[in-house]
A and B are shown apart, each in its own frame.
Chain A
Amino acid sequence: MNWNLNTEHYYVRFAHEEDIPNIYALLGSNEVVKNHPKNPMVVEAQAMDEARRMVMQFEAKEAAFWLVEEKSTGKVVARLSFQKFNWVSASAQLRVDVFSDHKTQSVLSELIYAVATLAYEDLSLHRIEWLLLESDHSLVDLAKALGFNHDGQLLSFLEFEGSWIDYQVFSLLKTDTAWQQAIKNHGLGKS
């Protein structure tokens, strides 16, 4: 099975040793991580640790991480991941770390369509879940535009800097009309 994906504008690929600076640049950016919520990385050693964890979680079949390399510039502009693979319930949680200039519907529909195809077709998953902060308006709107259903909220899911964080739960099922339409149209969110 080939985990490295190739979309029209991006290489959606696994990280390698030379990607430490790319991971650091991405996750050291407050604009990228603030809506997870998370503090940005402050030293490159954190990116090395993150890269190691990405490999370990993939080997344990708990998660899969892709860096998104823009074909035209060679720049890593995002990281996509499926976390909390649940092989019994055939589900996983989507997570998107992306620079704000690429946080657009056209970019993310291309990327999410690629990884969702792998999830549904190759990994036989049934449900992709996306946990978002209510305040992350751009991704909330985008999730809806791509056909994700708002399932509700998970209260006090985690504590961050002294505050309890609620997550909004969005889901896309393999059987959803939005996904079936995406297969026909070779893209998510296309009418």
Chain B
Amino acid sequence: MKFVANVDFNGGQLRPLDQSDVDTIVKLYQKQTLAGQSTTASTEHAERMITLSVQMAATQRGLMWAMEVDGQMLGMLSLYDWQPTSLKTLMRLDVLPEITQLQQVEALRAGMDYLLKKYHLRNFSFHCLPTGDEAVINVIEQVGFTQQAYLRDFRRTSQTEFSDILVFNQILTTVSETPHEGESA
């Protein structure tokens, strides 16, 4: 049974992860800024992530899409903390340098439109680091997300250190509320 749908966006498609994505996932997850990440990503972690992505989607806890452009996986758009009752979810965007900002914007819009239509999700949020996540912030602001909170020392980065987290939100009530290129939220 297929739990993660294929969703087309202008320039590419969102699709379920599969075993051929392992190397790309390892590349994407070399970032040491990820919560709880103490070592660099490995093949084993990536394989486990693919298995988890199916389990998450099957139980509506989360979802992981590969962002594919011209047949190549260039990023991931993921949902965590998916709360079907509260119609909300926390998202992540992890990309390789090869994908353009416009493609990321289109992919995110298409993913959110799909989630709104299919699951009626309306409250989308991103947690970003104050430094290091500028590229992601650029993308999500273009899609209409706005910063709503600055959570001090919200994420633990080591035994004794913490990082602040910026919370960005976008609330959708109808499909037509998704802003289009050049529009603000």
Interfacial residues, chain A to chain B (CB-CB below 8 A): 88-91, 126-127, 149, 151-159, 164, 169, 171, 173, 175
CB-defined contacts of A91 to chain B, threshold 8 Å:
154
Could you list 15 further interchain pairs (A-B, Cβ under 8 angstroms) beyond the known A155-B169, A156-B86?
A89-B154, A89-B155, A89-B162, A126-B162, A127-B154, A149-B152, A151-B150, A152-B147, A152-B148, A153-B149, A156-B122, A156-B123, A156-B171, A169-B151, A171-B152
The binding surface of chain B is classed by DSSP as strand
In the complex, what distance in Å separates the CA atom of A149 from the CA atom of B154? Answer: 13
Q: How far is the CA of A173 from the CA of B162 in the complex (A)?
A: 11
Chain A residue contacts of B36, Cβ below 8 A = 88
Q: Which residues 110-136 of B have a CB within 8 angstroms of A?
A: 122-123, 125
Instruction: Flag if A152 contacts B86 (CB, 8 Å).
Output: no
> Does B167 make an interface contact (CB < 8 A)?
yes
Give the size of the chain B interface in residues (CB under 8 angstroms).
21
Residue B31, interface by CB 8 Å: no
- List 6 tightest A-B contacts by C-beta distance, closest first: A152-B149, A156-B123, A155-B169, A89-B156, A151-B151, A151-B149
Do the beta carbons of A173 and B167 come within 8 Å of each other?
no
A88, A127, A155, A173 interface centre (most CB from chain B within 10 Å): A155
